[in-house]
Structure formats: C-alpha cells, structure tokens
Structure 1
Amino acid sequence: MPLTTTGELVTRARAARTAVPAFNIITLEHIEAVVTGAETVGAPVVLQVSENAVRFRSGRLLPLARAAATAAERAAVPVALHLDHVRSDPLLRQAADAGFSSVMYDASPLPYDENLATTRAAADWAHSQGLWIEGELGEIGGKGAHAPGARTDPAEAQAFVTGSGVDALAVAIGSVHAMTTRTAALDHALLARLAAAVDVPLVLHGSSGVPDGELTAAVAGGIAKVNIGTALNQAMTDAIREYLDDRPTAVDSRGYLGVARQAMASTVERTVRLIRCV
C-alpha cells in the first residue's frame, strides 16, 4: 500500500473521535512488529523515528527510514512515517527527502517565547516542504511533569498554536516519558479545557505509562494521536531476557530477536485495539 501521511491519518481519526497509534522504532524488528500488529487489527498506524534513535544509529537517518518506508509500502494497512522529538535543525531538514510526511519539533525545554519563535521557524520551513508539523507545550518528560507549572496552560496553548502555526500540539496532562509501570494519572479536566481552547489535534506523549482506562478516556476527551515507545522496548527486552535465561548457551540472534519481534507485535496489537476500540 502506498505511504500515507500522518496528517491524513490524524485528521481522519479526530473526525471519528478516535486516535492514531504512533510507535517509536529503533530496529528492523520494531518496524516489522508494528506493521504486523497493525495488520492483525486492520488499523492504520504511524512509524516514528526519534532524534535519539537517529543518534543511536550513528547519526544516520536514511537506513532506518528506508527500511520503514519499504515496510510501509508493503503493508496491508495505511502506514505513515513521522520524525519525532527533533531538536536539530540539520535533522529536521532531512525529513522530506527521507520519506517522512510529518515531524515533531521539540523546543519545549526552552522558555515560552523561545519555544514559540523556534517552533514558528520550524513550522514555516516544514510547511514549505509540504510537511505536517507537531509542536509541544508544557513538560512531559522526567520528574518535572508533575511539578507546578509543568502542565500545558489552555490560554498559552491557544496563543502558541496561533503564533507557531503548528498542525498539532503535544500537551502535558500527566503522562511521563520512559515509564515502565502503567500508573500515570491524567488530568482529564485540563484535557477538556485544552480541547476547547485549540483548533488543532492534540497529541499524548509518554503513553506507555498510562493505564487502559486513562488512555481510552483521553482519546474520548480529544487526544487524536497517541505515542508509544517504552512499551515496545519493554516487551522486547523481557522476551529476550526470558529466552536467554531459558537457553544460556544460545548464540543465534534469530532465536531471541524472533521472540522479541513477536512480543512487540502482540503489544502493538493490544494497544491498537485499545486505542481504536476494535
């Protein structure tokens, strides 16, 4: 199936009052697992490559991007490619040529005025290349996510969206990146105020740490794109650890990578069913 665009998938999901699941990928096994899980459910999905993943791959975007694009083009469901958490302008400028239809530009650690100005510049460039762009306002990562002032303010969000020109906004409502326990409690009242304040789709980051009920309530409350990364890595690592514990003399990587890929595919399937309510 030809590559689709993130903007198209998110727009369609928002109109249907549901969300598009977007999974961060690091290896070929991640890519295959996400596509397999989505095909099992029969639902669209976004493959995301983060700036950290590019750094892990020796700073080279194209090998992983080409693998993701090839898998997407051969998938039985619509698949889009998204460049995630970009802070490097040189990396941002590789997005279109590498096959990505969208990018998340992350200037959220900066003071508001600097976040707005740098995101505006990134959005202007992205739009000139036909890219859909996501920005972030508030503090999602790390311990500060629950500190006073870390949550996204609705009035600031409205001004930020208008001033930056972003097509979607990642908001801080209580989720935290890299959680390995599903104990995050979301602020649904704040989400309702944000959904009423801005006219672009809202994105939830750090969704691996969000319990089922909280996640489905967030989608019902206006989240249109749900990012998942750590849950895949956790499934992969647990499967490899169990495989090698049971087979201490194993050396063929196909054995443990195979069970890891299947574990990730099962996680994708479960997550897509939950988010898409299918």
Structure 2
Amino acid sequence: MADWKTTNTHLRILRDAEGGRYGVIAAIAYNIEQVHGLIKAASTARSPLIIQFFPWAIDVFDGLLIRAAAAAAKNADVPISIHLDHAQSEDLIRRAADLPFDSIMVDMSHNEKEENLRKTAHWVQHCNERQIATEAEPGRIEGGEDGVMDTAGLEACMTTPEEVDEFIATGVDALAPAFGNVHGEYGPQGPRLDFGSFQNIRSSANGRVRLVLHGTNGFEPELMKQCIAAGVSKINVNRLVLDDYYEHLYTSAGKMPHTKLIEEGIDKVVQLTVKWMEICGSAGKV
C-alpha cells in the first residue's frame, strides 16, 4: 500500500468502519448550511463523517463550496473526509483532482464494461498521483440523481464476482456494487435488495476494497442495519438526512426572518443526521 493511503482520511475512516462493523454516513451537501449541519452532527454524535458533492457543485460554485467544506473538515474535532460522488465527465475529474478532495468516485459505468475498466484505471492513477482515493461502480445501478446521468435507458447489470476482481485490478479503493439498489426513488414496492448476490460480491472482494451502498432514499432503519451487517462500510445518503431541512424550508420561508430560517434549517440537518449515525452504529466511535 502506498504510504499516503495509510494516512488518507477517507481510507482511514472506511478501514475503521469495516474493522468495527459499523457504517459511515456519506451525505450529499448542496449548500453551506448543510455542510455546517453535517459537521455539527458528526461532532455531536462523536462520529466520523463523509461529506459528498455531486459534480454540479464544482461548476456552480467554481470550487468554492468544496474548499469551504474541506477547510471546515480539517478544523473539525472528528474525522471528516470530502468526497466527489459520480464524477462521470473526464474533464470534470481532471478539475476535481486539483480541488481538496480526499476521494473521488470515478464513475464510468455509463460505458460498456471494457471501456469502463480502461477509463477507470486511467483516472484512478491520475487521482492516486495526487494522493486522492477512488471509488468505482462495477455493474450498473439504475436511475439518476441531481446532476448525475440517468441510466434508465441502459440495462441495469448486477455486479458479478468476476467484475469485482476486474475493478480491483484498476487500483480502486472502494466499490459500489449493484445488487438491486437504485439511484433516486424506488417504486411503490420499495427496495428489493439481493443479499445473496451481495455476499458473493463481498466474498470476492475479500477485504481488498471497501464496499459502498448507493441508493438509500426511503430506507427503513432495519434495512440499513441489514446492509451494514452484510458488510457495507460507506453509506451514501441524500434525502435520509435532508428531508426535514427541506420540509422546514418549504413551510417556513417568508414566515420568519431569513437568519432564523437558516439557523433552524441547520438544526434540522443536525438532528436527522445524528439519528442516522446512531442507526448506522458510527455514533460514539471517535
């Protein structure tokens, strides 16, 4: 293992989570209030945290939001890493690698498998040369989220054990397998995860990479705990920790001073995030 991989905050957080058999919240943030609320939640819960951004945050804020989050994470009293989720544009990955990310998801899953593997290996090397950890998606998870390519028109592909080996060969540090999970919203039937498939994936990984859960919108606590018990270390969340924030924003805008709206919105993020940190077992670990 390269020396920097032993000290990289993101990798250290995931190694500790896998060793401790708990899950670490990896929460999408869209603005500075959410960044602050997530960090405050981590400090309150004494939990590690991963703050994630979708690629649009780099374009819209010209890197400002990422730099602010990285500075806040560095000054926090608990371990916090900054991760870029679903970097699907190669130009965007190049830009992101010059920003203070601890980890970048090199998401070439919209390509056919051989092209996916080739491009993944190239950009893993590019990131590693800058001491940035990497994540990839073997198989293909259905759906799309804000600013992320919607794969609804492409065939969903369950991750196979053979693909795990192929992606590990690219040098990637974490894998987000497809085992019935979807990006965005689940249909009326709710999540239908194939844990038998996941166990085959985990056996093939054999501790060589950390495993990541994508697509948690609408998850109940017991399903989340089942995923962590199955061996997931990084738990990507969006609405699970932000729903109360948006409900407050939509119902209270124009009915109170703007400053109070912001302050109470931050508190909503804190409260809901602490709840999910407790559910995922990371509370009290630092």
Task: Specify the alignment match of 2:278 in structure 1.
Answer: 273
Superposition TM-score, scaled by structure 2 size: 0.85
Identity %: 27
CA RMSD of aligned residues (A): 2.4
Q: What letter is aligned with 1:139?
A: R
Task: Specify the alignment match of 1:262 in structure 2.
Answer: 267
Task: Specify the alignment match of 2:143 in structure 1.
Answer: 142
Q: Distance in 2 between matches of 1:277 and 1:68?
A: 21
Once the two structures are superposed, residues 25-77 of structure 1 have per-residue CA deviations (whole angstroms, 9 ceiling, x without a partner) of 1100110110111111101101112213334x25x12x101210222123221
| 2:91 counterpart of 1:86 | no
Task: Specify the alignment match of 2:4 in structure 1.
Answer: none
Q: Distance in 1 between matches of 2:255 and 2:25?
A: 38
Q: Distance in 2 between matches of 1:211 and 1:240?
A: 24
Counterpart pick for 1:194 among 183, 194, 201:
201
Q: What letter is aligned with 1:93?
A: R
| Aligned-partner SS, 2:14 | helix
Shift of 1:176: 2.0
Give the conservation status (yes or no) of the 8 Å contact 2:38–2:269. yes
Matches within 5 A, 1:24-103: 24-55=28-59, 57=60, 60-61=62-63, 63-103=64-104
Distance 1:249 1:39, change over 3 A: closer
| Aligned-partner SS, 1:134 | strand
Shift of 1:209: 2.8
Q: Distance in 2 between matches of 1:127 and 1:67?
A: 23
Shift of 1:79: 0.9
| 2:121 counterpart of 1:117 | no
Shift of 1:80: 1.0
Give the conservation status (yes or no) of the 8 Å contact 2:242–2:272. no
Task: Specify the alignment match of 2:226 in structure 1.
Answer: 217
Aligned length: 267
Shift of 1:161: 1.9
Q: What letter is aligned with 2:184?
A: A
Distance 1:105 1:128, change over 3 A: same
| 2:19 counterpart of 1:19 | no
Distance 1:21 1:271, change over 3 A: same
Q: What letter is aligned with 1:156?
A: E
Farther-moved stretch of structure 1 (226-235 vs 196-205): 226-235
| Aligned-partner SS, 2:260 | helix
Task: Specify the alignment match of 2:10 in structure 1.
Answer: 6
| 2:238 counterpart of 1:229 | yes
Give the conservation status (yes or no) of the 8 Å contact 1:178–1:230. no
Distance 1:7 1:224, change over 3 A: same
| 2:176 counterpart of 1:170 | yes
Counterpart pick for 1:155 among 151, 156, 162:
162
Shift of 1:181: 8.7
Shift of 1:170: 0.7
Distance 1:142 1:206, change over 3 A: same
Distance 1:258 1:189, change over 3 A: same
Listed as ranges, the gaps of 5+ residues in structure 1 are: none
